[in-house]
Structure 1
Amino acid sequence: MSRKSGENKIAKLISRYENMLNSNTQSFFDSHEFEDIADHYIEKGLLGEAMGSMEMASTQYPFSANFLIKKAQILTILERLPEAEKTLDIAESLEPSNPDLHIAKGSILSKKRKHQEALQHFHKAQNFSESPIDVYPFIAFEYQCLGRFQDAIKYLENFLNNEPEDDIAIFNIAYCFERLDAYNDAIDFFKTLIEKSPYCEITWYQLGLFYNKIKDYKQAIIALDYAILIDECFTAGYHEKARSLTQLGKTKEAINTYLLTFAFENATGYTYLKIGLCYKELSSYKQAIRYFTKACHEDPQLSEAWMEIGLCYEATGSIEEGLHYIKKAVNLSPDDLEYLYIQTKIHYKTGLYNEAELGYKKLIKLGCESPIIWMEYAHLMKKLNETKEAISLLKKGLEHNKNHSELLVRLGAYLFLDGQEDLARKYLHMANTINPEINIQLFNHIPSLQNNDDFNKLLNFK
């Protein structure tokens, strides 16, 4: 039966069923028709109607386990698990070897995160089923939940050998390969699967993804081109191909590839953002800002687009104008450490030292313990003639970054400038022991110390 004739048959069945309900009459439906009616309503999200059809089916077929199982499946979707379990217990008393019964029981146990018990029921379903391979995706999913990805792959491979175009199984096996970092195994598997079913765009797409993961971007583009050739509306293929082209430095081609997606889907903030990033890579800041602005218009909550506008303005020397957009990005993502750090750096660069100090304080409060944060914050305090505070900050930085040579040497230098020569000597020698070249970095930071005789004596330079 063709798909169209099948849809027409279901439409007529639903019409007959609903006419019966509207006229408050009784009509006979065979058991398969009742199951088709319930499945139709479930697919449409009309769970109340699906439940009603099963209640009616149970009155016509009171000893059928299938309708009880279907009712339990609906109850499971509605998260009414205790009712579903009681219904399945009744079904089990009628037909204990029904494979759908054990699939339904396993699904409930899976929802409860009782994956080992769920597996027991799925294996029972496998043993009772006339088509045991149909149960393999359920078994594989439980193994995924248990972190047993190799076992999951085994079942998914067997399933896909029989159903090579099942989208969900393809995505799940790709997920398992990725969790195992088994990128080459994934490539080998998908190439074999393509030999069985060469016209499945999802398989070509996954092959392209894994080629990208091993940085074989040329092979990725070949695979993605096949995905697009099979289905020209498959926009995910265009996006991934554009990413591959970007990695190869073919930025203009990447832009054109992103633009092709607009023929098949509505423009999104994400796509405009990616195009803007390409123009930024080309240093075409005016065009980049244009597309980042489009991204903000499509998705005002897309903080990355606001940030990129600010960075483009900064790159062209319009720092104060850029700061406006950077603040907008930080307001949208206040806990994003990278955004906050960029804003703090620009506050310092534009002489907004109080704002910069607040930025460093917040970075530390949010758990940023990178040595560069402590050094920059201390440098700011030193610039504000708060040398003792700078020293205190470097000491705190060392608590989080033991024996970091640059923190040590800066602490030694600040102690020297504060007149604490004995302590300065201690930290300077510790730094030099760890990294004998560290003084060069220090002199880049504080050039005046390079010709300071007292400081050089402290270092035994003279």
Structure 2
Amino acid sequence: MEFSQPDDNNNISLTRFESMLKTNNVLFFDSNEFENIIHHYLENGKIALAKKAIKLGLEQHPSSVNLKLFLTEIYIIENKFKQADELLDELHIVEPTNDEIYIQKASVFSKQDLHEKAIDVLKSALSLNQDEESLSDLYALIGMEYLFLDQFDDAREYFTKCLMIDMEDYSALYNVIYCYDFLDQNEEAIDFLNKYLDRNPYCEVAWHQLGRQYFTLKAYDKALSAFEFAIISDDSFVGAYLEKGKVLEKKKLYAEAIENYKITLALDEPTSFALLRIGHCYEKIGNNDLAVQYFYKTVHEDPLLDKGWIAITKFYNKQRNYQKALFYINKAINIDGENVIYWKLYAQINHRLNFLEEAERGYKKTLDLGNYELQTWLSRADILIALGEYEASALNLIQAAEFYPETAEIEFRLAGLHYMLHETRKGQYHLKNALLLDSEFDFILEELFPSVLQKPSVQEFISNNRK
């Protein structure tokens, strides 16, 4: 449906309509006015007002197909698929060549995950006499339905048809490349983009996408050239400068990367991504003062960006300024207490500061949030041993063994713990397993359980069971 009335007329209609709602005085609007009013409310998410406008519109224009199509749209939004389907069937009898009826019918199927039926309906609409714009819309809708079905070859075919109608349909271009990306067909994407650029050589979007494909293949020189052509085509294209900066980083040309990232700050609102990358580049060239300044700017720009807080924390970690590292990771945790990377860093920093209770708490939270790396289990176990919490450490290691069975590092620790708990038979069982798995880890006993290793019975057991 087209909405071509001048904005001033639309505003007058809206004002009259809303005035009518307040006064309860019924005013007359022609069907086009109602269509524009309803379209405005739907575009702005004002569903209740859209429904009122449809109701009043149909009272004044009961035979209007377009107003009834808006009603089906409301039905679809409210998941009233049966009512929508029945009304669409009625409208199809009245206007069998109205492509909007087919589109809405397809939407009913799509909303119910019946994507193949939606495709069949949309393909039926293609047989109608269509102008190029309508055909392009239908091709795009069919392409999206194929995407829902993960049928990327078919989706790409229909998005390509959109480009054959309009070379500057960048939404279709992005979707074509998305299909290639999902199928890991980078070489094929490059061939497609080069052919596209032969026909549309100043398309900055295509050059940008070509650069991304070369970047994925680690062909950095070709990627750099593509991004430079994108910038030549549009010297205000922020995305091209960002991608060029990433390539320059890969080529270890950090000063040039900084220059490109800074251009994006001048062209548009600062982005946390650009600020963060500038910080990392300064760190690479040894300018720590500017590096940390940009890390601060990153978290100021976007306090929810975990990479910013992680960058600051790791920066101070490298400087061995653990107190400052702990200060910033605590700030990060206060913002997002469910971020597993934050808790892992929190645990490691407290461990380095020998704040064992806090370190143990951090490792436990890390495990609770689903980080099941072996080192996390072992670090927590070792801290519990240092705290004299032998039973808790043993329980932690038994849980770890479910994820890492037959692991010598776990078995040696369990052996030492059971000896410390005076459970000799269990200690011997785990010690035998440990020696069979990898006797080179026997230093664990010396480091964590020296009193156990000094026992003659343990030394004899090790001697008898060593490979």
TM-score by length of 2: 0.80
Equivalence map 1:210-221=2 (5 Å) = 210-221=213-224
Q: Distance in 2 between matches of 1:412 and 1:323?
A: 34
The aligned residue for residue 3 of structure 1 is none
CA distance in 1, matches of 2:78, 2:397: 57
**C-alpha distance in 2 between matches for 1:283 and 1:417:** 49
Partner letter of residue 101 of structure 2? Answer: L
Query: Distance between the aligned counterparts of 2:334 and 2:307, measured in 1?
Result: 12
**Aligned counterpart for 1:408 among listed residues 407, 411, 414:** 411
Match of 1:262 in 2: 265
Q: Helix, strand or coil: the match of 2:127?
A: helix
Q: Does 1:346 align with 2:349?
A: yes
Report the counterpart of residue 139 of structure 1 in structure 2: 142
Pair 1:95-2:95 in alignment: yes
The Cα offsets for residues 259-286 of structure 1, whole Å up to 9 and x where unpaired, read as: 1012221113343223223333444332
| Residues 321 and 65 of structure 1: CA distance in aligned 2, closer, same or farther (over 3 Å) | same
What is the aligned counterpart of 1:325 among 312, 328, 335? 328
- The offset of 1:443, in angstroms, is 8.4
Q: Give me the whole-angstrom Cα distance separating, in 1, the residues matched to 2:46 and 2:376.
A: 55
User: Aligned-pair distance for 1:73?
Assistant: 4.4
Q: Give deviations 1:406-460, integer Å, cap 9, x for gaps.
A: 3234434555677767655554554454446545x748966979x9796776156
Contact 1:303 1:328 survives alignment (8 Å) = no
Q: Name the counterpart of 1:308.
A: 311
Residue 325 of structure 2 contacts residue 349 of structure 2 at CA under 8 Å; is this kept in 1? no
Q: Helix, strand or coil: the match of 1:402?
A: coil
Cα distance in 1 for residues equivalent to 2:237 and 2:230: 7
- Structure 1 distance, partners of 2:221, 2:430, is 52
- Contact kept in structure 1, 2:160 and 2:173, CA below 8 Å: no
Q: What corresponds to 2:154 in structure 1?
A: 151
* Alignment partners' CA distance in 2, 1:389 and 1:44: 57
Summarize the alignment of residues 10-409 of structure 1 with structure 2, pairs less than 5 Å apart: 10-11=6-7, 14=10, 65-66=65-66, 68-69=68-69, 72-73=72-73, 76=76, 84-131=84-131, 132-409=135-412
8 Å CA contact 1:99–1:129 kept in 2: the answer is no
Given residue 158 of structure 2, which amino acid in structure 1 is its aligned partner?
A: Y
The gaps in structure 1 that reach 5 residues or longer are 1-6
**Structure 1 residue 404: deviation in Å?**
2.1
Distance 1:362 1:9 in 2: 59
Instruction: Report the CA distance between 1:372 and its aligned residue.
Output: 0.9
Residues 88 and 446 of structure 1: CA distance in aligned 2, closer, same or farther (over 3 Å): same
For residues 324-377 of structure 1, what are the alpha-carbon distances to aligned partners after superposition, in whole Å with 9 as ceiling and x for unaligned? 111111222222222111101111111211111212222222233221112111
Q: Is the 8 A contact 1:311 1:326 kept in 2?
A: no
Deviation at 1:41?
7.6
Letter of the 1:336 partner, please give it. N
Partners of 1:251 and 1:456 lie apart in 2 by 57
Secondary structure at 2:414 match in 1: helix
Q: Is the 8 A contact 1:429 1:459 kept in 2?
A: no
- After superposing the two structures, state which structure 1 stretch, 189-198 or 72-81, moved more: 72-81
Partner of 2:23: none
**Match for 1:178: what amino acid?**
D
After superposition, the C-alpha distances for 1:139-191 in whole angstroms (9 at most, x for unaligned) are 11111111222221222223323323212212222322232222222222222
- Given that 2:204 and 2:230 are in contact with CA atoms closer than 8 Å, whether structure 1 keeps it comes out as yes
Q: For residue 235 of structure 2, give the secondary structure of its aligned residue in structure 1.
A: coil
How many residue pairs get matched? 453
Q: Is the 8 A contact 1:20 1:26 kept in 2?
A: no
CA contact (8 A) 2:416 2:449 kept: no
